[in-house]
Amino acid sequence: MRGSEIRNSEQELHQFQVRVGIAGVAVIIAFGLLAARFLWLQVLQHDVYQAKAEDNRISIVPVTPNRGLIVDRNGVVIARNYSGYTLEIFPRRVKNLERTIDELTQYVDITARDRARFRKLLQETRNAENLPIKNRLSDEEVAKFAANRYRFEGVEIKARLFRQYPFGDVASHVAGYMGRINQEDQDKLEEDGVAANYRGTDYIGKAGVEATYEAELHGTTGFEQVEIDAAGRGIRTLSRTPSHPGNNVTLTLDMRLQQVAEIAFGDRRGALVAIDPSNGGVLALVSKPGFDPNLFVDGIDPQYWAELNGSIDKPLTDRAISGLYPPGSTLKPYLALAALETGKRKPSSTIFDPGYFDFGGRRFRDDKKGGHGVVDLYKSITESCDTYYYHLANDMGIDAIARFLAPFGFGTRTGIDIAGESLGVLPSPEWKLKRFKRPADQKWYPGETISIGIGQGYNSYTPIQLAEAMAMLANGGSMYRPHLLANIDNANSGERREVPAEIVSTVRLRRDNVDFIRRAMAGVAKEGTAARAFAGVTYTVGGKTGTAQVIAIKQNEKYEESKVAERHRDHSLFIAFAPVESPRIALAVVVENGGFGARAAAPLARTVLDYFMLGKVPAGMDQPTPEDDTAVGTEEDESD
């Protein structure tokens, strides 16, 4: 038995080794066949295939589409295309880049900035075929270079379309800017399955509307079959599938209103958001200082980029949607409404204000030394009485306050259609528990509720949240998603897509309570804290001033503006709506370090409202619109 097993196993091993041998022979035969095939293709038929490779001269060249226009609600152009000549270098065809650029300076004015920008492009986009060394050549430069073109292998003049923003830095945060497609963008395009449509496209929307509606604006890339020579240069076009221009985007923005607001800001920092309360359309969205998006168009030069990024004014930050500010007294109308809705106060109920409110051994001071005397709810708003709201906040408690304010969008992103919105902070014990790590910091102290009542403490909201809440108060409680897009026009079919107003939520409010608050806010402009700013106004307007502390004031110290550094001065705020009976505009203004709300923000709002209601143009704005001459966008492609 055992013997046969061994023999069996030996036999098996022998059989296996025979089969390994057979396999080896089969492998040799198969590889031999392959080698014979290679010999046939590469030696015997080499001439045939060599000729075929030489003849392989049809290359597919993308035809870049024209980018869609961005216009405001009245058709005023915010972004358009502009055609110009660029001088482009094909780095892989040039032997000595530095020397070639040196030699080019004889014919074309190439500055140190151009060189720096070119070097940066070369670093960032390693696999690009050609890169611009100089944009927007003059006719003379084009002629000079053309005459000497034979001397520069790998340098060519190209006709290209550039993005142009006729208003410069006006509405720069709304329009956003374009930039070269980087690796990250490329990955995103591939993930979205649209990379093929971006062949031949060098730039992509990086911020603002340019980024949000990139897919609409870009258009469809066409293709040309081009006969090429052995070096890959095009000789003759064989066939052509035209590109289709991108769609035109119309915004709800009123560019002239925007311009009025920006002129009113002057050199001051801050933000303004104006919304149509009946549908959430954004009428103006200002963030100052801005930047000139035209400078990003042809590859921003490193120096200007460093200036923008390094500036303490942070011009690239969109304060209107990402700046966080304590609302100060602009929160009072909502707290007053909360008091009425929850039954904590009646319009007639009064307090006596001695000028302070003592709580837990601490004295909370009113802005007015000596106090406002007897104060009812109406007067608490028109005169902005702090003591009244210290009492009210204490009576309501933090939970009830947070519960009432949350549906107005405080501390929630509004969902506006540009990126970069901040969340803000609606303070509550739950928020504090989540925000802080140490148990001692997590506890909510009753004293903290008192400051919440006058919009200080942890309260911090974006200007667009303040405007959104104002719009809700103005329309009686409907929250529309704020949006910049009004409609999209298909440049090919002429078809128009409207953006319907979207109600996010509705707060149930009693009509008489809302009317009371509106009346009180009208009183602010008529006889209250903003009376001087609105002196002689011919339309009805409701508003509320606010002042937000930038640095904490010690308990027994009085804030004195002259003693405080400019950047530590209070922020000036104002919220407003007009006309009072059937509001068409709701806005929020923040002037950073502007001092009292009544002084900086309220007059600014007045200027904006005067233009909106009466068409009154402020001084310094004689030419409201740059003339519209060279816009390219709706026509069929003109690029090469």
Partner 1 sequence: MELARLPFRRIGLRLTEGIDSTLLVLMAALSMLGLLALFSASYENPGRVVSQVMNLAVAVAAMWLVAQVAPQTMMRFAVPAYVVGLAFLVAVALFGDVVNGARRWLHVGVTRFQPSEMMKLALPLMLAWYFHKHETSLKLRNFAVAAILLAVPLGLIARQPDLGTAALVGAAGFYVIFFAGIGWRVLGTLAGLGLAALPVVWGFLHGYQRKRVLTLLDPTTDPLGAGYHIIQSTIAVGSGGLWGKGWLNGTQAHLEFIPERHTDFIFAVFSEEFGLIGNVVLIVLYSLLVARGLVIAANAATVFARLLAGAIALMFFTYAFVNMGMVSGILPVVGVPLPFLSYGGTALLTLFIGAGILMSIHRHRKLVQT
Task: Note whether 151 and 103 are within 8 A (CB).
Answer: yes
User: Nearer to partner 1 by C-beta: 52 or 99?
Assistant: 52
Q: State how far the alpha carbon of 147 is from the alpha carbons of 107, 140, 141, in Å.
A: 10, 11, 10
Going through 55-154 in order, the beta strands assigned E by DSSP cover 58-63, 70-71, 77-89, 131-134
User: Nearer to partner 1 by C-beta: 43 or 565?
Assistant: 43
The answer for residues whose C-beta is within 8 angstroms of residue 482's C-beta and 6 or more apart is 273, 275, 280, 281, 282, 414, 415, 416, 464, 467, 468, 471
User: Nearer to partner 1 by C-beta: 164 or 197?
Assistant: 197
CB of 13 to partner 1, least distance (A): 8
CB of 195 to partner 1, least distance (A): 12
Structure-token pair, residue 578: 């007009």
User: Nearer to partner 1 by C-beta: 22 or 116?
Assistant: 22
User: Nearer to partner 1 by C-beta: 47 or 566?
Assistant: 47
User: Nearer to partner 1 by C-beta: 236 or 554?
Assistant: 236
The answer for residues whose C-beta is within 8 angstroms of residue 292's C-beta and 6 or more apart is 165, 168, 169, 172
Count of C-beta atoms within a 10 Å radius of residue 465: 29
Provide φ and ψ at 271, rounded to 5°.
Answer: -150, 155
Task: Note whether 243 and 637 are within 8 A (CB).
Answer: yes
CB of 55 to partner 1, least distance (A): 9
User: Nearer to partner 1 by C-beta: 228 or 617?
Assistant: 228
Phi-psi region of 410 (alpha: psi -120 to 50; beta: other; left: phi over 0): beta
CB of 22 to partner 1, least distance (A): 9
3-state secondary structure 215-256: HHHHCECEEEEEEECCCCCEEEEEEEECCECCCEEEECCCHH
253, HSE (Cβ side, Cα atoms, 13 Å): 31
CB of 32 to partner 1, least distance (A): 9
Structure-token pair, residue 7: 């023999």
Q: What is the rounded distance in angstroms from the CA atom of residue 352 to the CA atom of residue 362? A: 19
Q: What is the rounded distance in angstroms from the CA atom of residue 261 to the CA atom of residue 605? A: 8
Catalytic residue among 287, 329, 428, 451: 329
CB of 235 to partner 1, least distance (A): 14
CB of 299 to partner 1, least distance (A): 20
Residue 550: which H helix or E strand, with range? none
User: Nearer to partner 1 by C-beta: 33 or 116?
Assistant: 33
CB of 225 to partner 1, least distance (A): 11
Q: Is 179 exposed, middle or buried (0-12, 13-18, 19+ CB in 10 A)?
A: buried
Q: What is the rounded distance in angstroms from the CA atom of residue 89 to the CA atom of residue 83? A: 19
Q: What is the rounded distance in angstroms from the CA atom of residue 522 to the CA atom of residue 590? A: 20
User: Nearer to partner 1 by C-beta: 49 or 445?
Assistant: 49
Q: β-strand 70-71 against 248-251: which pairing, if any? A: parallel
Report residue 70 CA to chain centroid gap: 14
Q: Where do contacts with partner 1 occur on this chain (CB under 8 A)?
A: 5, 8-9, 12, 15-17, 19-20, 23-24, 27-28, 30-31, 33-35, 37-39, 41-43, 45-46, 48-50, 52-53, 56, 59, 126-127, 228, 230, 232
Structure-token pair, residue 493: 């079919």
CB of 181 to partner 1, least distance (A): 14
CB of 160 to partner 1, least distance (A): 21
User: Nearer to partner 1 by C-beta: 126 or 438?
Assistant: 126
Task: Note whether 175 and 292 are within 8 A (CB).
Answer: no
200-232 burial, b at 16+ Cβ within 10 Å, e below that, comes to: ebbbbbbbbbbbbbbebbbbebbbbebeeeeee
Going through 465-541 in order, the beta strands assigned E by DSSP cover 478-480, 485-489, 496-498, 503-506
Task: Note whether 187 and 602 are within 8 A (CB).
Answer: no
DSSP 8-state secondary structure symbol assigned to residue 508: -
Short-list 139, 180, 222, 163, CA closest to 631: 163
Task: Note whether 332 and 380 are within 8 A (CB).
Answer: yes
The answer for residues whose C-beta is within 8 angstroms of residue 338's C-beta and 6 or more apart is 344, 396, 400, 401, 404, 405
Task: Note whether 467 and 587 are within 8 A (CB).
Answer: yes
Q: What is the rounded distance in angstroms from the CA atom of residue 481 to the CA atom of residue 289? A: 26
CB of 204 to partner 1, least distance (A): 18
User: Nearer to partner 1 by C-beta: 127 or 556?
Assistant: 127
CB of 86 to partner 1, least distance (A): 22
Is 493 assigned a catalytic role? Answer: no
User: Nearer to partner 1 by C-beta: 58 or 146?
Assistant: 58
Looking at the DSSP assignment, which residues form a beta bridge with residue 164? 80
Q: Among all residues, which ones are annotated catalytic?
A: 329
